[in-house]
Amino acid sequence: MDPRHLQLDDEGRLKHFLTIDGLDRALLTEILDRAEGFLGVARQAVKKVPLCRGKIIANVFFENSTRTRTTFELAAKRLSADVLNVNISTSATSKGETLLDTLRNLEAMHVDMFVVRHADSGAAQFIAEHAAPFVSVINAGDGSYAHPTQGMLDMFTIRRHKRRFEGLTAVIVGDILHSRVARSQIGALRTLGAAEVRVVGPRTLIPADAEEALGVRVFQDLREGLHEADVIILLRLQRERMNGAFLPSEHEFFHLFGLTEQRIDGAKPDAIVMHPGPINRGVEMESGIADGPRSVILEQVSNGLAVRMAVMSMCIGTQNLAMASASRSAQPDQDATADLLAQELERG
């Protein structure tokens, strides 16, 4: 099933969040607007809202990521949900059996939402396709396919600094080929109306069909790619996904593509610098950039909580509406059964 259809209900509401591809501008804007409302929760004396009270949310991580798991856990707790953290090591069992066995066992515990991270592309979609009707699935990163909440927290950060996407030139630098984050960022930027999205990196780390398939402009020269940029997004080299010699060394990468004070001069004076983390200082950028006034990297972390709260609450809201509708549909049958039982008792 196409994930773009799988993740929406019949009314166009968010049921699962598997990918940004195929979602329209109105829905992405709704996520951003809702996240704005959650920013203030961190400043409250009691940092909780009751939107997911009584719900059980399971973080099912087949691939390690302390940062992502922690932010999802905290987001769920701020929504008053109960959280179950499941860290699963990769085994020799086939993907289908492993995911389905895990899914069925957790469903037996009456889990309402799965937050899934997996090294294989399509794992979150696989779980969504086989999940029970009133269970939601959020993709916390799968293979090189998608990381939609990271993409949306980056859009949220950009909007708070630039106010709008129209007219913006965004530049993504680094390992585009292996990056699920880059794909989600590119899809979101284009849907929200950015004027131009550029990717910069070694030829070996950019998909051969990037311009046609992703709708971006490709550059192999960093200075040229950064010219008049409004937003600069740096990516980590995905060493764990590289099978072969994609670049000579990290030192050589920094020499050609690392962001320095000298190279950033070509961007606009108010350009912001972003990174999904973790940062490799001296590889993707020098420390002066990471800690400098243009950097919004720590803001991305804080904004991630608000965006993940927004996505979770939207999915749970859709789930609650579906359950209420099913309950109303079943009520006439329940009433008819009760009437028949009453009649039998009277006859008896």
Q: What is the 3-state secondary structure (H, E, C) of 242-256?
A: CCCCCCCCHHHHHHH
User: Considering the domain boundaries, does residue 267 fall inside one?
Assistant: yes
Q: Supply the pLDDT for residue 334.
A: 60
- 96: number of Cβ within 10 Å: 11
Q: Check whether residue 140 and residue 229 sit in a common domain.
A: no
Q: For residue 96, what is the enclosing H or E element?
A: helix 95-107
Under the banding of pLDDT at 50, 70 and 90, the label for residue 339 is low
Under the banding of pLDDT at 50, 70 and 90, the label for residue 340 is low
Q: Residue range 22-50: average pLDDT?
A: 93
**In the predicted structure, residue 101 carries a pLDDT above the cut 60:** yes
> For 277-286, how does the pLDDT look when each residue is reduced to its tens digit (9 = 90+)?
889 999 999 9
Q: Check whether residue 278 and residue 230 sit in a common domain.
A: yes
Q: Supply the pLDDT for residue 242.
A: 45
- Per the model's pLDDT, the better-predicted residue between 201 and 238 turns out to be 201
Percent of the chain with pLDDT over 90: 75
Under the banding of pLDDT at 50, 70 and 90, the label for residue 267 is very high
Q: Check whether residue 192 and residue 84 sit in a common domain.
A: no
Please give the C-alpha separations between residue 96 and each of 65, 99, 102, 110, 277, in angstroms, as whole numbers: 22, 5, 10, 21, 30
Q: Check whether residue 240 and residue 193 sit in a common domain.
A: yes
Under the banding of pLDDT at 50, 70 and 90, the label for residue 240 is low
Query: How many angstroms separate the CA atoms of 315 and 7, rounded?
Result: 9
User: Considering the domain boundaries, does residue 16 fall inside one?
Assistant: yes
Q: Is 294 annotated as a binding residue?
A: no
Q: Supply the pLDDT for residue 93.
A: 47
Q: Is 160 annotated as a binding residue?
A: no
Q: Is 277 annotated as a binding residue?
A: yes
Q: Check whether residue 190 and residue 268 sit in a common domain.
A: yes
**In the predicted structure, residue 91 carries a pLDDT above the cut 50:** no
CATH number reported for the structural domain that contains residue 76 in this entry = 3.40.50.1370
User: Considering the domain boundaries, does residue 246 fall inside one?
Assistant: yes
**In the predicted structure, residue 345 carries a pLDDT above the cut 50:** yes
Q: Is 334 annotated as a binding residue?
A: no
> For 167-202, how does the pLDDT look when each residue is reduced to its tens digit (9 = 90+)?
999 999 999 999 999 999 999 999 999 999 999 999
What single-letter DSSP state applies at residue 42?
A: G
Q: Check whether residue 133 and residue 227 sit in a common domain.
A: no
- Residue-number span of the structural domain to which 56 is assigned: 3-147+307-314
Q: Check whether residue 154 and residue 265 sit in a common domain.
A: yes
User: Considering the domain boundaries, does residue 340 fall inside one?
Assistant: no
Q: Supply the pLDDT for residue 243.
A: 47
User: Considering the domain boundaries, does residue 94 fall inside one?
Assistant: yes
User: Considering the domain boundaries, does residue 326 fall inside one?
Assistant: no
Q: Check whether residue 191 and residue 122 sit in a common domain.
A: no
Q: For residue 114, what is the enclosing H or E element?
A: strand 113-118
Q: Residue range 211-225: average pLDDT?
A: 96
> CA triplet 139, 202, 239: central angle to 5 degrees?
50
Q: Check whether residue 230 and residue 176 sit in a common domain.
A: yes
Under the banding of pLDDT at 50, 70 and 90, the label for residue 96 is low
User: Considering the domain boundaries, does residue 20 fall inside one?
Assistant: yes
Burial of 70 per CB tally in 10 Å (0-12, 13-18, 19+): middle
- Per the model's pLDDT, the better-predicted residue between 250 and 321 turns out to be 321
User: Considering the domain boundaries, does residue 8 fall inside one?
Assistant: yes
What's the structural domain count of the chain? 2
Q: Is 150 annotated as a binding residue?
A: yes
> For 290-317, how does the pLDDT look when each residue is reduced to its tens digit (9 = 90+)?
999 999 999 999 999 999 999 999 999 9
Q: Supply the pLDDT for residue 38.
A: 95
- Per the model's pLDDT, the better-predicted residue between 97 and 161 turns out to be 161
Q: Check whether residue 162 and residue 285 sit in a common domain.
A: yes
Q: Is 278 annotated as a binding residue?
A: yes
Lowest mean pLDDT among 2-11, 39-48, 93-102, 220-229: 93-102
> For 105-122, how does the pLDDT look when each residue is reduced to its tens digit (9 = 90+)?
889 999 999 999 998 999
User: Average pLDDT of the chain?
Assistant: 90
Query: How many angstroms separate the CA atoms of 77 and 292, rounded?
Result: 32
Query: Which of 275, 299, 323 is the last residue in one of the domains?
Result: 299
Query: How many angstroms separate the CA atoms of 68 and 305, rounded?
Result: 10
Q: Check whether residue 294 and residue 189 sit in a common domain.
A: yes
Q: Is 180 annotated as a binding residue?
A: yes
- 237 is written with which tokens? 């080299």
Q: Check whether residue 135 and residue 217 sit in a common domain.
A: no
Cβ-based neighbours of 294, under 8 Å, separated by 6 or more: 264, 271, 272, 273
**In the predicted structure, residue 1 carries a pLDDT above the cut 90:** no
**In the predicted structure, residue 136 carries a pLDDT above the cut 70:** yes
Residue with tokens 């007219």: 167
**CB 284 within 8 Å of CB 244:** no
